[in-house]
């Protein structure tokens, strides 16, 4: 039985989008983990960089992470930008991502989508997972990185997810207030630290065995297992000061 909370870090910056400093975001999280009070209770998995959609799904299946952290580009129309042929953008829209998470990320408790315009996707995922973090608009690259570092700093020191979220906002002098948005299931328990909450659940799953989920495709906004995607070139219009 694992005694660690597994964090999957996924990054993508296709060649036809604005270049981002995503490796520095991983280092920021890694540095905070090394300093954290509960560092031995977390495992930061090997980062998935220049990630294609097949890399992402393989990592979910192989590692069954408790935390999924995506950083890169996002847009309202096309969703998250993964890497495609010849490093061009391969968009993954809301329906496709929701289906992938539903079927493949059974152990996830927290999903952090650190890219522009991910609020709607995060809100849909909050029906399945305890906590999701998304953005309501454009977010500067440096702010996204710093916010992630401060959020995980608090989480690694024993904060609840809402506590870590508020702590990170304050640490950035509220630069991302109104941009970064936290959603949670009504059943999420904020009375204990995230580390205790997840490890307690891991023990329960170990004792109770596995659960098989079956899903169906119905109206728009509902969950299904048939995955359809519109393949094409993603275009991200970025203003100065590099946004995601």
Please report the pLDDT score of residue 233 as a whole number: 44
- Going 215 to 217 to 219 to 222, the CA torsion angle's sign is positive
Q: In terms of residues, how long is the chain?
A: 244
Strand 79-83 with 89-92, pairing: antiparallel
Rg (alpha carbons) of the chain, rounded to whole number: 17
Average pLDDT value for residue range 130-159: 97
CATH number of the domain to which 41 belongs: 3.40.50.1460
Between these two residues, 243 and 38, which has the higher pLDDT value?
Answer: 38
How far apart (Å, rounded) are the C-alpha atoms in residues 131 and 113? 11
Q: What is the mean pLDDT of residues 80-86?
A: 94
Q: Is residue 219 part of a domain?
A: no
Would the pLDDT of 201 be above 80?
no
DSSP state of 239: -
Is 74 a member of any domain? Answer: yes
Exposed, middle or buried: residue 241 (CB in 10 Å: 0-12, 13-18, 19+)?
exposed
Report yes or no: 117 and 74 within 8 Å, Cβ to Cβ: yes
Q: Quick one: tokens of 158?
A: 């024993």
- Whether 131 maps to a domain, the answer reads yes
Domain-located, residue 99: yes
Three-state secondary structure call for residue 95: helix
For residue 67, being part of any structural domain is answered with yes
Rama region for 77: left / alpha / beta (φ>0; ψ in -120 to 50; rest): alpha
Tokens 């905070």 label which residue?
Answer: 32
Give the count of domains, the chain. Answer: 1
Q: What is the distance between the alpha carbons of residues 189 and 195, in angstroms, rounded to a whole number?
A: 12
Asked whether residue 87 is assigned to any structural domain, the reply reads yes
Is residue 158 pLDDT above 60, yes or no? yes
Which domain range does residue 106 map to?
A: 5-208
Query: How would you classify the pairing of strands 5-12 and 42-44?
Result: parallel
102: nearest Cα among 228, 219, 231, 216? 216
Q: What is the pLDDT of residues 27-82, one digit of tens each?
A: 999 999 999 999 999 999 999 999 999 999 999 999 999 999 999 999 999 999 99
What pTM does this model have? 0.82
- Residue 177 confidence (pLDDT) above 70: yes
Q: What angle is formed at CA 154 by the lines to CA 119 and CA 23, rounded to 5 degrees?
A: 65
Residue 238 belongs to some domain of the structure:
no
Domain-embedded: residue 214: no
């Amino acid at each position: 039985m694992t005694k660690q909370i597994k964090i999957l870090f996924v990054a993508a910056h296709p060649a036809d989008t604005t270049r981002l400093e995503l490796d520095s975001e991983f280092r920021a999280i890694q540095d905070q983990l090394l300093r954290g009070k509960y560092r031995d209770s977390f495992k930061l998995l090997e980062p998935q960089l220049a990630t294609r959609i097949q890399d992402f799904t393989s990592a979910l299946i192989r590692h069954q992470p408790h935390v999924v952290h995506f950083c890169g580009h996002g847009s309202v129309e096309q969703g998250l930008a993964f890497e495609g042929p010849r490093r061009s953008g391969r968009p993954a829209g809301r329906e496709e991502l929701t289906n992938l998470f539903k079927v493949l990320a059974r152990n996830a408790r927290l999903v952090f989508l650190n890219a522009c315009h991910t609020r709607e996707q995060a809100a849909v995922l909050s029906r399945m997972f305890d906590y999701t973090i998304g953005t309501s608009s454009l977010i500067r690259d440096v702010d996204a990185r710093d916010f992630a570092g401060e959020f995980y700093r608090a989480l690694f020191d024993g904060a609840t997810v809402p506590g870590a979220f508020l702590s990170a906002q304050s640490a950035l002098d509220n630069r991302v207030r109104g941009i970064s948005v936290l959603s949670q299931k009504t059943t999420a328990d904020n009375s204990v630290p995230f580390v205790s909450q997840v490890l307690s659940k891991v023990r329960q799953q170990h004792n109770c065995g596995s659960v098989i989920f079956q899903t169906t495709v119905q109206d728009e906004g509902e969950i299904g297992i048939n995955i359809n995607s519109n393949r094409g070139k993603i275009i991200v219009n970025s203003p100065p000061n590099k946004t995601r």
